[in-house]
Amino acid sequence: GAVVSQHPSWVICKSGTSVKIECRSLDFQATTMFWYRQFPKQSLMLMATSNEGSKATYEQGVEKDKFLINHASLTLSTLTVTSAHPEDSSFYICSARWGLAGGSTSYEQYFGPGTRLTVT
Amino acid sequence: QKEVEQNSGPLSVPEGAIASLNCTYSDRGSQSFFWYRQYSGKSPELIMSIYSNGDKEDGRFTAQLNKASQYVSLLIRDSQPSDSATYLCAVRLYNFNKFYFGSGTKLNVKP
C-alpha cells in the first residue's frame, strides 16, 4: 500500500518552455501532497505543500508564479515549471500523506519516484 | 541553527555489524519522527516512524527517541551491503503540515 507515482520520470526541455509533472497516489486518498526539489548531493528542499481543493502554500524563496501547483483531486497533484531555465534543472520529488473524510490522517509521507528535469 | 541536524558521514561499517545513525532536532514542539533511506538517484523510502519516547523495532531496524535530549537514532543490525545509502531523518512539528528533513548521513557497509 501507499504507492505514489510520478510522471514523467525524466524530461528534457528547452529554456523558456513549460513542463508539467504529475504526482498520483495510487492506492489511497492524499489530502496533502508535498513537492520537493533536490540538487545533486544535497538534501531535500521543500518547495510547497498542497491540500486538495485549496491553494498551495509555498516555502520562502519559492516563486509561486514560476512553480504552479494544482491539487485538483484526492489522488492527483501537478507541478508546472513555467519558463524553465537551466538553473531549474533538478530532481523533483512529490510525496503524499493519506487522509480520510472523517478526519483521520497519517503523519507519514510516502514519496514518488521523482522526476529528473534537465533544461537545455 | 538547522531544525534537524545529522552528521553527513560517510559512516563505514563492516558487513554484519551494527550501524548507528544519529539525529538531533531543535524544536521541542516536534511530535513525530521518521527515518528514510535514499539510494543514489532515487527518491526517499520510509523505513521507520516513531512518536513516543523509547525504542521501536522493525526487523533489523530499531528507532530510538529521547525527547528530553531532542535526539533520535536509527540502529541497523546485521548490516548488509544493500543497506549502503543515505539515511534522512525527518521531524514533524506541532504544525500539522510542517516537516523538516536533515541533510542525511551516508552509510557504507563494506563486504
Partners of B87 on chain A (C-beta within 8 Å) are none
Mean pLDDT of chain A: 89
For the stretch B34-90, pLDDT in tens is 999 999 999 999 999 999 999 999 999 999 999 999 999 999 999 999 999 999 999
Residue A101 is predicted with a pLDDT of 46
B107 at interface of A, judged by CB pairs closer than 8 A: no
CA–CA dist A96, B22 (Å, integer):
25
Q: Of A94, A97, A9, nearest to A44 (Cα)?
A: A94
> Among residues of chain A, what percentage have pLDDT more than 70?
92
Measured between CA atoms, the residue of chain A closest to residue B4 is A43
**Among A residues 75-114, those touching chain B with beta carbons less than 8 Å apart:** 93, 105, 107-114
Cell of B90: 525527518
Please compute, for residue B96, the number of CA atoms within 13 A of its CA located in the half-sphere on the CB side: 11
Mean pLDDT across A10-25: 96
For the stretch A59-92, pLDDT in tens is 999 999 999 999 888 899 999 999 999 999 999 9
User: What is the DSSP code (8-state) at residue A99?
Assistant: B
Mean pLDDT across A7-25: 97
Partners of A51 on chain B (C-beta within 8 Å) are 97
